[in-house]
Amino acid sequence: MARTRFSLATCNLYNLNLPGLKMYRDADGWDAPAFARKVQWLAEAIRRVDAHVWGFQELWHRDALEQVFAAAALPETYRLLVPDDHQGQGILCAGAVRADLLEGDPEWIDAFPQRFILESSGDDAQTGEIAVRIRRFSRPVLHFRIRPRAASEPISIYVAHLKSKRPTEIYREGWYRADTDYFKRHSEGLGAALATIRRTAEAAALRMILVDRLKDTDSPVILMGDLNDGTGSNTINILTGQPNYLASPLSLGDGDTDLYNLGQLRALRSLRDVYYTHVHQGSHESLDHILVSQEIYDQSRKRVWAFVGLELMNDHLSHDDHKESGTSDHGIVRAEVEYRPA
């Protein structure tokens, strides 16, 4: 096999579970008509986007995703990357890959690296101590490999879903209940801070995994998913290493452990860029990303694959009726790359 191009897409499934099964504190979950609408919309979207490689977030049940691909008339074309025993007990990241592309078996990474440490006594006498004791991802990270060309290095793909920006609920905590009247007025700020700390810790842990995969190698890596933060956020900067984007064709940019955001590469090619994958209270945000290593960066001397283009499917975000319409509350991001060694 020697593909010259392949495409990949990331899609938040918006809590895809079989009807009648509990989700979060909703004991009834989706009813049958709502589930049918979700299956129909997702199946149509998958057919329309037509990506070779899919990364999914918010999957509760393997059978639900199987029904989507059956409705899209694509069950034999793709291999679904979902554990056999994933049957509504929680949320994880999943995938779908054209059968001729996949190499080896997928894995789900639940725990942070064993040597993950996030604590400090402070940079100076005015800075207090800090220690974060989080040891695992809120949503297991999916890792798998594809080999578009037999003679080239396989590409490692990670699908992630980091902690959302929604404030953590603290009303069940003992310290909150001990002084509810006081802490109630601060619940939003404290909850948002806790969510940010958790998402930042997850980004740092994932960054360690990525650096260990990338350091001193020429193996291509792609990270995609709902990372729940904007392009210039500290979370994304942790994941990417903040590489230097070189617009000049005479420049050569290499970053051994850096990741390049295809959304930013798209913006560099546009006279005007409008990129958003989520709308919250009227604010248009870019939460869903595809990040690539230097082997897929146009200006790198170690380029093997080149970025062709990026498309968004986000018209459905104009209406906040996702439960009624069966749509996702996130846009779908699709990117295409081609074999073009430097």
Phi, psi for 211 (deg, rounded to 5): -60, -40
Go through the chain and tell me how many residues it has. Answer: 342
- And the tokens for 96? 């779908």
Q: Residue 63's pLDDT is what?
A: 97
Question: Please, what is the end-to-end C-alpha distance for the chain in angstroms?
Answer: 21
Q: Residue 40's pLDDT is what?
A: 96
Q: Residue 243's pLDDT is what?
A: 83
- And the tokens for 282? 């009227």
Q: Residue 144's pLDDT is what?
A: 98
Is residue 321 within 8 Å of 310, Cβ to Cβ?
A: no
Is residue 91 within 8 Å of 133, Cβ to Cβ?
A: no
Neighbours of 151 (CB within 10 A): 7
Is residue 116 within 8 Å of 109, Cβ to Cβ?
A: no
- And the tokens for 245? 């984007």
Query: If residue 323 lies in a helix (H) or strand (E), which one and from where to where?
Result: helix 322-325
Q: Give me the long-range contacts of 44-51 (CB less than 8 A, separation at least 24).
A: 44/72, 45/11, 45/313, 45/328, 45/332, 46/11, 46/72, 46/74, 46/96, 47/72, 47/73, 47/74, 48/313, 49/9, 49/11, 49/313, 49/332, 49/334, 50/7, 51/7, 51/8, 51/9, 51/334
Q: Residue 317's pLDDT is what?
A: 75
Q: Which one, of 273, 243, 244, lies nearest residue 258 by Cα? A: 243
Distances from the Cα of 41 to the Cαs of 38, 267, 337, in angstroms?
5, 29, 26
5-109+140-164+221-339 CATH pick, 3.40.50.740, 3.40.50.720, 3.60.10.10, 3.60.150.10: 3.60.10.10
Q: What is the pTM for the complete model shown?
A: 0.92
Q: Residue 266's pLDDT is what?
A: 73
In the chain, which residues have pLDDT < 50?
none
Is residue 222 within 8 Å of 291, Cβ to Cβ?
A: yes
Ranges of each domain in the chain: 5-109+140-164+221-339
Write the pLDDT tens digit of every residue in 278-311: 655 556 677 899 999 999 988 888 899 999 989 8
Q: Residue 318's pLDDT is what?
A: 74
